[in-house]
Amino acid sequence: MDLTLLLDLDNTLLDNSMETFLPAYIQALGEHLSDLAAPEDMARWLMTGTQFMFANQRPDQTLEQVFEPHFYPHFDLDRAALSARVDRFYNQVFPSLRRTTRPRQAAHRLMKTAVQRGYTIAIATNPLFPRTAIVQRMEWAGLSAEDDHIALVPSMETFHFAKPNPAYLAELLSYLGWPEGPVLMVGDDPALDMACAAGLGIPSFWVRPEGTSYPEDAPPPTGEGTLDDLIPWLDRQPVEHLTPDFQSPAAILATLRGCPAALQTLTRDLPPAHWQRPPQEGEWCLTEILCHLRDVERELTLPRLKAILNEETPFIVGVDSDAWAEERNYRAQDGKTALQDYLLARLETLEILAALTPEQWQRTAQHAIFGPTSLQEMMGFSARHDRMHVQQALQTIKKQ
């Protein structure tokens, strides 16, 4: 089975009770910065910034960018100096928190089997910490972020969303190139891991903490048990039980957030030459892909969305938008500007979609090619279009 395995970290691969770890972490950081602010004030600013990270819905702001204005301005120290102090904390003090954790031998057995089977493995931890804090916790679990078998490690510097927002998993899958076939989210927290997976339409496996029962108000997992139960359980599952379904309104909305968010991170450090260079003759360069996404969003997705909401069964004309690349000479345009314009248009789309009622998602239209359709189906096409071009952009970047 060609499986993509999304593994939570804390209390899944690593024994790390948040009831113990978080107070120890906040106390240690407060003491480290106590000459600049009272520890109780620092804790309040830290938690406020964290809540804003949980709440973020914008694909144009990383979690780090969301957090910073709620934390750093409170200190009477310039940003660079304060960042150096925080970096020193993670380098010198944070490692001492290892004492609150314990590696899980079952995690080692799971990773060994997953690697032997050739599964794609991503660490699906909540990206509410700097990368160094996540990498260190992986090391405490006996894992290395440099291991070539681990395809992705999220962090606040690169990610835009946090669990339980299903856009988090949509962004994560975007970095993986939206792999085809079965996908499984594995985690211990019904309110974070299972809810996040259910929102995007991904099967999940609940790593059941000893002595607990599954909460009635949480989305049910596809399977449950211990970490050692996971592989035997997988071997009993037909492929269709592990195949994602991205067609619900929640999944569509998450995809339309996660794809542009990933594109922003994937492109932000690219040298200028990489924007204009196609992988091979006859293929689009990155700038052409982004110009295409921008114009489709502005000239097709948004107008169609508004028409379906404001008219009774409007007629939707089919358009060959691929031809625009040559007609509009996309390759001569500025890719970074195209990305920003795409994000601005997408924010307008997201604002409209986020306010829809279930009835509005079912409003009808008549498409010139697809025939009778609905707003949900049309937005599903848009989400699939995003996924396809994220795959294309990722391959284009990798071939540079």
120: nearest Cα among 6, 285, 267: 6
Per-residue pLDDT of 272-324, as tens digits, reads 889 999 998 889 999 999 999 999 999 999 999 999 999 999 999 999 999 99
- As a whole-number percent, the residues of the chain with pLDDT over 90 amount to 96
Measure the CA–CA gap between 136 and 100, rounded to whole angstroms: 13
Place of tokens 């049910």: 220
Question: Is CATH 1.10.1510.10 the classification given to domain 4-15+101-242?
Answer: no
Q: What is the pLDDT of residue 158?
A: 98
DSSP classification of residue 180:
S
Fold of 249-398: Four Helix Bundle (Hemerythrin (Met), subunit A) (1.20.120)
CA angle at 72 for the pair 163 and 58, rounded to the nearest 5°: 35
Q: Is residue 400 pLDDT above 90, yes or no?
A: no
d(C-alpha 376, C-alpha 362), whole Å: 6
Q: Please tell me the distance from the alpha carbon of residue 332 to that of residue 288, in angstroms, as a whole number.
A: 9
Checking 49-52 for CB contacts under 8 A at 24+ apart, the result is 50/128
Task: Label residue 1 by pLDDT band (50, 70, 90).
Answer: confident
Structure tokens at 378: 């049309």
- Tens digit of each residue's pLDDT (9 = 90 or more) over 22-56: 999 999 999 999 999 999 999 999 999 999 999 99
Q: What angle do CA 294, 398, 280 make, to 5 degrees?
A: 75
Nearest to 101 by CA among 193, 9, 209, 224: 9
Quickly count: other Cβ atoms within 10 Å of residue 246's Cβ.
Answer: 20
pLDDT digits (tens, 9 = 90+) for 342-370: 999 999 999 999 999 999 999 999 999 99
Contact between 175 and 266 under an 8 Å Cβ cutoff? The reply is yes
Average model confidence (pLDDT) for the chain? 97
User: What is the torsional sign of CA 15, 16, 19, 24?
Assistant: positive
Beta strands in the chain (DSSP E): 4-7, 14-15, 102-103, 120-123, 150-152, 183-187, 204-207, 223-225, 315-316, 364-367, 371-374
Complete DSSP assignment for 212-227: ----TTSPPPSEEE-H
Q: What is the reported pLDDT for 182?
A: 98
The two three-digit tokens of residue 64, written as one number:
């780090």
Q: Which DSSP letter does residue 239 get?
A: G
User: How many Å apart are CA 126 and CA 169, to the nearest integer?
Assistant: 10
Give the model confidence (pLDDT) of 136-181 as tens digits. 999 999 999 999 999 999 999 999 999 999 999 999 999 999 999 9
Distance CA 57, CA 109 (A): 36
